[in-house]
Structure 1
Amino acid sequence: MTTERFGVKPGQYIPGEVMHEYLEAYTCEFGIDQHLRLSTKVVSAEHRVEGGWLLETHSTRGEHNKLTQVVAKRLIIATGMLSEPFMPHIQGQEQYDRPLFHSKDFQKYRDTVSAAKRVTVFGGTKSGWDAVYAYATHGVKVDWIIRPTGHGPVWMSPSFVTPFKVWIEKLVNIRWLHWFAPCIWGQDSGYHGIKSFWHRTALGRVITNTFWNILAQDVINIMEFDKHPELKKLKPTSSAMHTGTAFGIFNYETDFYEPIRNGTVRIHEKDLSHLSKGQVHLDDEEGTILESDAFVAVTGWKSFSPLKFLPEGIDRKIGIPYYPY
């Protein structure tokens, strides 16, 4: 990604539009574009007795809306963990009578940024931070609900951490740092003995926990969570060691905290009770009721492939995450 072509300087955050432009240019540069089937969903993947796979696809591109079949010798599943949004049913949502949507569909409901006067954001992950920022910077009042019975606020960090201002993305490329990270495949890394010392001995655990505590406290200090009573509600409750993919970069152009300090954004560490027409009811002793013109559910993603595998049960046999029911 060159500055001359895409206008992004080294160390600068890459806007979504530029990333999309880059991916399009990449596919054209290497001739991948002619093999793409856009606006097409794989409905099912059937393993054939003679080998290979039979895919049934549904295309909605242009005027075409039809099912087609594709025969493949090999099948690579690259759908990731962010394909199918998890949208829980909330009691009373049928009576809410306001826009209620998953954060995945924020673009579809972008008009709520200008039309709504007060919105509810449910969830403390990075998408929740982004939704809160989008509304607050347009003067919309935000009630941000982060359940105490959930995983709490996500770990957020600037791009550069530690007193040495190390680029956090490069930390994952430092081989010795992975010794401190929990991993079920540690015995296959070539450093089984070292990892066993760090994670299976008393002294090793003390050193490992100290490492993660120092790293976590550095991030907490940089993020200034302890400098305001409302900001303390955004301090992660989960261990930095076990954060996994629940992590986000603090990449906002203006002061994210100012709307929180001035009351434009109110953070509620409460569970949801139910919804009613234009209202969100919290599960607390006071019976708090929040007026709401839109409800953004930042509720994560389903942890299994969106494809239906045939014959039934083959997905669990070949080691693909599957729906348990």
Structure 2
Amino acid sequence: MPEVDIVVIGSGLSGLAFARFYLDTHPEAKLVIIEEDRCLGGVWSQRRSYDNFWCQSGRRMSGFSDVPLTVPEDAPLYHDTFEAKYVTNYLEEYAHNHIYNGKTIFSRIYFHCKAVKINKSYDKWEVIAELPNYLKEKHPSQPPISYTCRKLVVATGRTSYPRMPSIDWGSSMRFVRHHKAFGELSQQPLPWASGVLFFAVLGSGKSAADMVYELAKKGQNVKWIIRASGEGPALLFPAPGHGRYKNSVESSATRLKALFSPSPFIPNTWWFSMIRTLLYGTRIGINYMIQRIRNVDQYCRNIAGYGSRPGSLEGFKLLDFSSSAFWCTGPLGLLQHDDFWETISQNVQVYRNDVVSYKDNIITLDNGKQLIADEVLLGTGWDPQQQCFSDEQARYLGLPHFKPMDNIEVRSLWEQLYEEADRRVIAKFPLLENPPPHINRASPGTTVQRLYKGIAPLGDDSIAFLGAIDISNSFRAAETQAIWTTAYFDGNIKLPPLEQMVKEVAYMGAFSKRRYPTHGQTGECFFFELVWYTDALLHEVGLRSHRKGWWADWVEPCLASDLKGMKDEYKQKFGL
């Protein structure tokens, strides 16, 4: 294939957001997107959609800034959240309707192209793609395709590669599906009418909860198995908002509310320093925050009524969580159906055991109990590793890699940097020094991610990783990362000296580990940092049109429409 300017790997939110903003400001650019699936959208794709999959952001916080996301007037809403299929429709129309130099974004996407190997020679990247595994058997003679470019954007995100549990499956793998394939099962009428009655769902997070709920609502026999050795059941937030906020997600996405969560991206001014010291550095402030954390957890527990809900099956109380919403020591999600707890409590058998094996339609638990299951569905999460890069490339680019791959000098340098950064985190946020009991999911032999702003490698300015951090609203994160990366590739960001960038990377990693002791050990978790992180990206580019004035800036949530002036502001600022 002829050389292009930019290759984007992935057509989910991050890939589409980058393609749109970059082409908005460089309409003549030769930009292509390669996508492993047969349809765009990533987690929002048509193939992965199912009946009870809902968007956890309300309408005002969903979609991109230049085209409002709307749903039909008769569409069901739950505190302004809505069915995910409308995101799917929105993204497909979005890609078809954005046209640059006579080509739509959609026409730039090459489907069924799985990036399997990436090489760099001098100043050019070569991306080698082949058919995904499920098509190889049908087309065994199809040769790989090579794409060459000067700039590479990896936008595969964090929900591309299923995490498969280590279980003795025997010859029963054909009856096992990951949540990634649940949409296809849900959309096909045959399984529901073919006598398949016994389902087992493994996992404790929101994806597992969605599958359990949908199966129960369709009258299936459902067993929900949450391993005893894991993080425990999900903590599900009630959706109702209060006052000006249409839902609880909106109320948490304000600058005022964001002050009550420590963040490495809070502006370093005297006023913010005073607030930070008051909340996290004084005994009164720390006691207040501890009580606030307990109140939130108990509120969620009271809504569910784990031990008091009438008509509950015996195992329902096993869904009571031991994690903390503040610390994210377990799965989190939004409760999006009024009858969710009633449906689960009266129709679903819950087990808190590890699964030893699944053979001949029999699940064997670690206590010896055996359960019948015609299908096993896995809500076991995702492997965020960038699988198209070699171990050596991961080391070079600053992706998590085996520590022994670094030489002794580099290893010692980063250990010192993280120790210093950890002391700074504790000095600024003493509350974080003593986290609650938790599971450390990271391998002790793996490094922390070393990407500047969670996007850019320190030693190569021709590649960016978008959607690589865990954050609460993917729409806003995708769009602001797209703007920052465009400016970065254009040379329109005045980056700090390398020594300072290295220290900032270490500080981000140390903060992630302290703030999110279970999910942040590889330096990629900034779940509650949406407001300050996206502000920091736009501030570094020098853009301000998203700000709303003094009062509204503090109390209004981060809405998709906030960013609608970014294209014109960017073009005017940089003379495009």
TM range (shorter): 0.7 to 0.9
CA contact (8 A) 2:204 2:379 kept: yes
Which of residues 86, 102, 109 is equivalent to 2:178? 102
Q: What SS does the aligned partner of 2:81 have? A: coil
Of Structure 1 and Structure 2, the greater strand share is in 1
- After TM superposition, list the pairs within 5 Å mapping 1:29-48 onto structure 2: 29-31=97-99, 32-48=105-121
Structure 2's unaligned 5+ residue stretches are 1-68, 100-104, 403-445, 448-576
- After TM superposition, list the pairs within 5 Å mapping 1:280-291 onto structure 2: 280-284=363-367, 287-291=368-372
Q: TM-score, normalised by structure 2?
A: 0.49
Q: 2:207: which partner in 1? A: 127
**Which one-letter code corresponds to 1:18 in the other structure?**
Y
**Is 2:222 the counterpart of 1:154?**
no
CA contact (8 A) 2:127 2:148 kept: yes
Distance change (3 Å), C-alpha of 1:25 and 1:72: same
Of Structure 1 and Structure 2, the greater helix share is in 2
Distance change (3 Å), C-alpha of 1:9 and 1:104: closer
Q: What SS does the aligned partner of 1:101 have? A: strand
Which of residues 341, 365, 369 is equivalent to 1:257? 341
- After TM superposition, list the pairs within 5 Å mapping 1:204-215 onto structure 2: 204-215=285-296
Please give the alpha-carbon distance, in whole angstroms, between the structure 2 residues aligned to 1:135 and 1:219: 24
Q: 2:356: which partner in 1? A: 273
Report which stretch shifted further, 57-66 or 226-235.
57-66
Comparing both chains, which one has the higher relative contact order based on Cα–Cα distances under 8 Å and sequence gaps of 6 or more?
Answer: 1
Q: CA deviation at 1:95?
A: 4.2
Distance change (3 Å), C-alpha of 1:182 and 1:68: same
Structure 1's unaligned 5+ residue stretches are none
**Which one-letter code corresponds to 1:227 in the other structure?**
S
**Which one-letter code corresponds to 1:33 in the other structure?**
F
Which of residues 381, 393, 402 is equivalent to 1:314? 393
Q: CA deviation at 1:121?
A: 0.8
Please give the alpha-carbon distance, in whole angstroms, between the structure 2 residues aligned to 1:72 and 1:78: 15
Which of residues 121, 145, 157 is equivalent to 1:68? 145
Please give the alpha-carbon distance, in whole angstroms, between the structure 1 residues aligned to 2:246 and 2:167: 42
Please give the alpha-carbon distance, in whole angstroms, between the structure 1 residues aligned to 2:396 and 2:275: 33
Q: 2:90: which partner in 1? A: 22
**Is 2:377 the counterpart of 1:300?**
no
CA contact (8 A) 2:215 2:222 kept: yes
Q: How many residues align structurally?
A: 316
Deviation string, structure 1 residues 196-245 (Cα, Å, up to 9, x no partner): 55334433321222222222222222333342364432222211112289
**Is 2:219 the counterpart of 1:139?**
yes
Q: What SS does the aligned partner of 1:218 have? A: helix
Please give the alpha-carbon distance, in whole angstroms, between the structure 2 residues aligned to 1:69 and 1:5: 46
Q: 1:175: which partner in 2? A: 255
Q: CA deviation at 1:6?
A: 9.9
**Is 2:171 the counterpart of 1:78?**
no
Please give the alpha-carbon distance, in whole angstroms, between the structure 2 residues aligned to 1:171 and 1:242: 19
Distance change (3 Å), C-alpha of 1:243 and 1:162: farther
Which of residues 105, 125, 133 is equivalent to 1:53? 125
Q: 2:503: which partner in 1? A: none
CA contact (8 A) 1:83 1:306 kept: no
Q: What SS does the aligned partner of 2:383 have? A: coil
**Which one-letter code corresponds to 1:23 in the other structure?**
L
Please give the alpha-carbon distance, in whole angstroms, between the structure 2 residues aligned to 1:12 and 1:239: 26
Deviation string, structure 1 residues 130-165 (Cα, Å, up to 9, x no partner): 111222122211111112221111121232257997
Q: TM-score, normalised by structure 1?
A: 0.83
Distance change (3 Å), C-alpha of 1:71 and 1:137: same
Report which stretch shifted further, 98-107 or 198-207.
198-207
Deviation string, structure 1 residues 273-321 (Cα, Å, up to 9, x no partner): 323321111112xx21111111112111113123225xx5232333234
**Which one-letter code corresponds to 1:282 in the other structure?**
L
Give the % identical residues. Answer: 23
**Is 2:70 the counterpart of 1:2?**
yes
Report which stretch shifted further, 123-132 or 110-119.
110-119
Report which stretch shifted further, 189-198 or 150-159.
189-198
Q: 1:194: which partner in 2? A: 275
Please give the alpha-carbon distance, in whole angstroms, between the structure 1 residues aligned to 2:170 and 2:308: 40
**Which one-letter code corresponds to 1:275 in the other structure?**
Y
Q: 1:216: which partner in 2? A: 297
Deviation string, structure 1 residues 45-85 (Cα, Å, up to 9, x no partner): 22332x24221122469989432121222222222111100
Report which stretch shifted further, 144-153 or 172-181.
172-181
Deviation string, structure 1 residues 249-278 (Cα, Å, up to 9, x no partner): 2223x723344443x310011222323321
Please give the alpha-carbon distance, in whole angstroms, between the structure 2 residues aligned to 1:6 and 1:43: 44
Distance change (3 Å), C-alpha of 1:20 and 1:197: same
**Which one-letter code corresponds to 2:373 in the other structure?**
S
Report which stretch shifted further, 34-43 or 60-69.
60-69
Please give the alpha-carbon distance, in whole angstroms, between the structure 2 residues aligned to 1:265 and 1:40: 40
CA contact (8 A) 1:54 1:70 kept: yes
